[in-house]
Amino acid sequence: MTQAALVNPTILTWSRERAGLSTEQVARKLPVKPERVERWEAGKARPTFLQAQKWASVAHIPFGFLFLPKPPAEELPLPDLRTVRGIAPEQPSLNLLDTVKDAIRKQDWYLEHLHDQGREELPFVGRFTSRSSVKDVAADMRATLGVDPYVARLDYEKYSRALILAAEDVGVLVMRSGIALGNTHRKLEVDEFRGFAISNAFAPVVFINSADAPTARLFTLMHELAHIWIGSSGVSDGNTAADLEEERFCNAVAGEFLAPEDLFRAAWDTRINWEENLAPLSTRFHLSKLAVGRRALDLGYLTQPQYSAYYRRVLKEFRDKEGGMGDYYRNTTAKNSARLSRAVLNEALSGRLLLRDAGIILGVQPAKLRTLASKLTE
């Protein structure tokens, strides 16, 4: 007779709800009838060890968790988080938790790598505070990153790529993904968060939620970089006046960097409808129309309802035409950051790091690492 696993029914329910699954979805994945799942959660029956192991896999928890007396307390390992409305979620989703933890795990590896090389602290991390001049911070970011859209005549997409490359070049790990842990079934929700920053003097991390509309990601990138410049991880959770002040400050720095206030106000035509201003200012500042709209909101030319409705329209258009997942190797590099990817691959291909371990760090099958390395050098 198959031995039953003495799991805690409360943990079964907690882990299923934590993973955002219904009893029917869990039943299909095991597979058993939904009634059996309900009996397990009610404590009227118990799964076998094999079924319990499958449950843990489906719910994305360690198998041992199923035997705990009560659910473990879980909080985001960051003090703050950039969200759509500047309010941190009371109950962060499993996908968000795993994404933040994965970014910290990669940052930890990179910090050890830098320590072995005797690298020095990055001078721009924490150079300012949220009480500094917005224009001074934006000017320092421009000088440090060295990307001038006017000299190179960059369009919006090229400007975004140039800023990401520049941030990586000065030592920031820029990670971008719309799914958790490379699993296409675990999509990151824009309504929950757009990005986050993990400040560190040696290896700061910026994460951008690629599930957001492409035209919105540049503002998020600059907002998160502003957090690095003031030495802050994440952003406001909306609980204190200081946090709200910091959120507004980083928004202001991002806006000033992308479209200086004096130039923007001189270019904005108050005689025409606000939407008619977007296209000409988009060309003027090498930004998307959505980024122009965001700057107009900050400077009082748009109301929050006007901008929110426009943003939702742009996001819907992006989702409606969204196709496949794109190039695997390009997405993998974006997910891990080019700087981190090069460091891991150099260690692996030189024999100082096992291919298996490199694959675990980057979330790539060891057999694909050499191809990934060749793509990075193209």
CA dist., res. 177 & res. 309, Å (int): 25
Q: What are phi and psi of 200, to 5 degrees?
A: -160, 140
Q: What pLDDT does residue 185 have?
A: 81
311 within 8 A of 216, measured Cβ to Cβ: yes
Q: What is the 3-state secondary structure (H, E, C) of 147-159?
A: CCHHHHCCCHHHH
Backbone φ and ψ of 95, nearest 5°? -65, -40
For the chain, the average pLDDT equals 89
Residue located via tokens 């118990």: 46
For the whole model, what pTM was predicted? 0.84
pLDDT the model gives residue 193: 86
- Report H helices in the chain: 9-18, 23-29, 34-41, 49-59, 94-117, 134-145, 149-152, 156-169, 214-229, 241-258, 261-267, 274-285, 289-298, 304-321, 328-336, 338-349, 355-362, 369-376
CA dihedral sign of residues 247, 248, 249, 250: positive
Q: 48 pairs with which residues across the strands?
A: 4
User: Which tens digits make up the pLDDT trace of 30-51?
Assistant: 999 999 999 999 999 999 999 9
Of residues 180 and 238, the one with the higher pLDDT is 180
Amino acid at 94: L
What dihedral do alpha carbons 311, 142, 228, 205 form, nearest 10°? 80
Q: How far is residue 180's CA from residue 188's CA, in Å, rounded to a whole number?
A: 6
| Residue 197: CB atoms within 10 Å | 30
pLDDT (tens digit, 9 = 90+) per residue, 141-178? 999 999 988 777 788 889 999 999 999 999 999 999 99
Flag the least confident range among 184-193, 240-249, 274-283, 291-300: 240-249
Report residue 103's pLDDT band, with 50, 70 and 90 as the boundaries. very high
How much is the pLDDT for 79?
A: 54
For 86-95, 148-157, 324-333, which range has the lowest pLDDT when averaged over its residues?
A: 86-95
Residue 72 CB neighbour total at 10 angstroms: 10
Q: What is the pLDDT of residue 242?
A: 46
Residue 240 is predicted with a pLDDT of 39
- Per-residue pLDDT, 323: 63
Task: For residue 84, give both structure tokens.
Answer: 């759509």
Q: Which fold has domain 9-67?
A: 434 Repressor (Amino-terminal Domain) (1.10.260)
Q: What letter would DSSP give residue 67?
A: G
DSSP assignment, residue 206? E
pLDDT tens-digit series, residues 267-305: 999 999 999 999 999 999 989 999 999 999 999 999 999
What's the average model confidence in pLDDT over 212-226?
Answer: 93
Least confident of 77-91, 112-126, 192-206, 334-348: 77-91
* Gap between the Cα atoms of 88 and 66, Å rounded: 28
For 364, counting Cβ atoms within 10 Å of its Cβ (0-12 exposed, 13-18 middle, 19+ buried), the class is: buried
Q: Which amino acid is at 38?
A: E
Kindly report the number of other CB atoms within 10 A of residue 238's CB atom: 15
Mean per-residue pLDDT, 60-68:
90
| Beta-bridge partner residues of 4 | 48
pLDDT at 238: 32
Going by pLDDT thresholds of 50, 70 and 90, the confidence category of residue 325 is: low
Q: SS3 of 107, please?
A: helix
The pLDDT of residue 201 is above 70 = yes
**Closest CA relative to residue 201, chosen from 270, 124, 278:** 124
Domain parsing of the chain, residue ranges: 9-67, 94-100+120-321, 328-376
Q: Which pLDDT does position 239 carry in this prediction?
A: 35
Rounded CA gap, 92 and 98, in Å? 10
At 234 the pLDDT is: 63
